[in-house]
Amino acid sequence: VSWLIYDRRRAVKSRWRRLGCFKQALLALAHLRKNETFAQGGASFGVSEATVWRYVDETLDLLASWAPGLREALVGLGEGDFVIARGTLIPTDHIAADEPYYSQKHKQHGMNV
């Protein structure tokens, strides 16, 4: 991951950064692995919450650019294989208990998959 960050910084001719490429990668991976808040990550690495947010966001964008697309991910699946779509809100309109199924973010009822 640190090489992806290094290549990106060279491509955009990035100026000096508070953390080097390796520490930025470590910060982002620690955030994903330990589910720390940005404040906790900032305290651990000696940077502000805003810097942690920018570094994690930049690293996730780099990782996402290397991830296969949906069509590529589905190629090669055989019978009996399955795919888990994570983070998608499936809208619903017929519910018995509305409160647990209401998404404040999307302002509609649904279930997260």
Instruction: Say whether pLDDT at 101 is over 90.
Output: no
Average pLDDT over residues 76-84: 80
* Nearest CA-CA partner of 105 in 93, 89, 92: 89
Query: Across all residues in the chain, what is the average pLDDT?
Result: 84
pLDDT value at position 28?
A: 92
Question: Hey, what amino acid is at 74?
Answer: L
Secondary structure class of 44 (helix, strand, coil)? helix
pLDDT value at position 78?
A: 83
Domain ranges of the chain: 2-66, 70-112
pLDDT value at position 83?
A: 76
Distance CA(68)–CA(83), nearest Å, equals 14
pLDDT, tens digit (0-9, with 9 covering 90-100), for 7-52: 888 888 988 888 989 999 999 999 988 888 899 999 999 999 999 9
